Structure 1
Amino acid sequence: MRILAACAAFLLLALPGQAEELKVMIGRDLPQVVVQTPDGPVTIMREQDSANEVTGEWARTSRDCPPFCIQPMTPAEGVTTIGELELLEMLQDPEALVIDSRTRDWYLRGTIPGGRPIPYTEILDRLGDLGCEADFDGWDCSAAKRVALFCNGLWCGQSPTAIRSMVGAGYPPERIFYYRGGMQSWRMLGLTVMTPGG
């Protein structure tokens, strides 16, 4: 009996999302979030090791500018910049899309669970996936979906470039949200990263 109880206690501690209480939570009343991905549901939570540190590429503070210059808070007039909590809400909203606008090589290194890969270089060709309809003058985006775009971080220009292209093509800026912190901020907070195909 003791062995069964010990095994059950171990499983509760070992399985993410199964423990009674997480020590490192997303918010005071938000221990974790479950989002749907093409591979099934994924639980987003923060790393539970309080000694964890960001290493490698994500620990770098300085990159050559250009091209890696600090991005403005708002990439285009009318676009709303958001943080992690707002992004998590959008990830759970079946009517919204979260877009990983990075190139495929970056996407394959790890992404935010539930983020849909649409590289910034393809965004104008994929507006139909976002609720726009092609017309004789370009795009009719009157039924455009709410979208949030992210890339690598405060120094990454891929999302801002995509956002400016979308607005230029007629996408309503009030339906676009910019997660400026991107993968670097997401990783710095110890939030779950998904490796596509992994």
Structure 2
Amino acid sequence: MIGRTALFVAAIAAHTTVLNAQDQTAKGQASFIFNGAQISISQNPAQAADYAARFSAVPPSCDPHCIAPFQAAVGIETVIEPQVLNFLVNAVGKNEGLLLDARMPEDRALGYIPGSVSLPFATLAQDNKFRDQILMALGVRVFEDVYNFSDAQRLMIYDNGPSQNDAGVLISYLLEAGYPPELMSYYRGGMQVWSVLALTIEE
């Protein structure tokens, strides 16, 4: 009987922890460990206007102009900000996933989501001789040009926002390599929407 009671109490505690985390992300807050450092994300309206102007001024990545599609590819889930925060806490913070910034380095230098990793879309093109090494860094096993994705990381991918499609191109390259779509998701809002919502940005 004592064992059952302890299990019940543990289950309630775990459920409460999940609810508290969800409540925090719904409020635009997140706290997690990344590369051994404590990362905190919250809303800071004082800086929002400056950052929003910065990211809206980035030229579109397609000619003459474009609006990124809602879905990057078939089977790829499109997510919004609370889901990004939840992913940072429950995947990145537990070393079970990566938030990837698909922009080129000069665009990332304008600011990025804390806890994200730079993976410029061009690096996954088929003609990049280092593509296999990059895939291996994502947990893919490579043997004689055969890819095994059983240990591949869960990925969430973003770019500057709806006026660019760097994330869509990176996702297409990953799919081309065989990366399972169920292990990827797409944050379409990118830096443009992230900054408008006054969420923490690092430079």
TM-score interval for Structure 1 and Structure 2 normalised by the shorter chain: 0.7 to 0.9
Name the SS of the counterpart of 2:84 in structure 1. Answer: helix
Structure ranking higher on relative contact order (CA contacts 8 Å, 6+ apart): 2
TM-score (norm 1): 0.75
Partner of 2:66: 69
Root mean square deviation of aligned Cα: 2.4
Q: Are positions 1:85 and 2:82 aligned together?
A: yes
Contact 2:157 2:167 (8 Å CA) reproduced: yes
Percent identity, please: 29
**2:179 aligned partner:** 171
Query: Where do 5+ consecutive residues of structure 2 fail to align?
Result: 1-23, 126-130
Identify, as 1 or 2, the structure richer in helix: 2
What secondary structure, in the 3-state scheme, does the structure 1 residue paired with 2:32 have? strand
* Contact map agreement 1:138 1:169 (CA 8 A) in 2: no
Summarize the Cα distance change of 1:37–1:108 in structure 2 as closer, same or farther, 3 Å threshold: farther
* 1:41-190 aligned within 5 A: 41-49=38-46, 53-54=49-50, 55-60=52-57, 63=60, 65-66=62-63, 68-92=65-89, 93=91, 94=94, 95-123=96-124, 125=131, 126-190=134-198
Structure 2 counterpart of 1:122, one-letter code: T
Answer yes or no: is the 8 Å Cα contact 1:149–1:179 preserved in 2: yes
Q: C-alpha distance in 2, partners of 1:163/1:78?
A: 11
Change (3 A) 1:138 1:64: closer
Structure 2 residue identity aligned to 1:42: I
Q: Is the 8 A contact 1:150 1:182 kept in 2?
A: yes
Which residue in the other structure is 1:21 paired with? none
Q: CA–CA distance in 1 between the matches of 2:86 and 2:194?
A: 15
Give the length in aligned residue pairs. 168
User: 2-side partners of 1:76 and 1:98: how far apart?
Assistant: 18
Query: Does the residue aligned with 2:63 lie in a helix, a strand or coil?
Result: coil
Select between 30-39 and 173-182 the one with higher mean Cα deviation.
30-39
- TM-score, normalization: structure 2? 0.74
**SS of the counterpart of 2:121?**
coil
Which one-letter code corresponds to 2:68 in the other structure?
Q
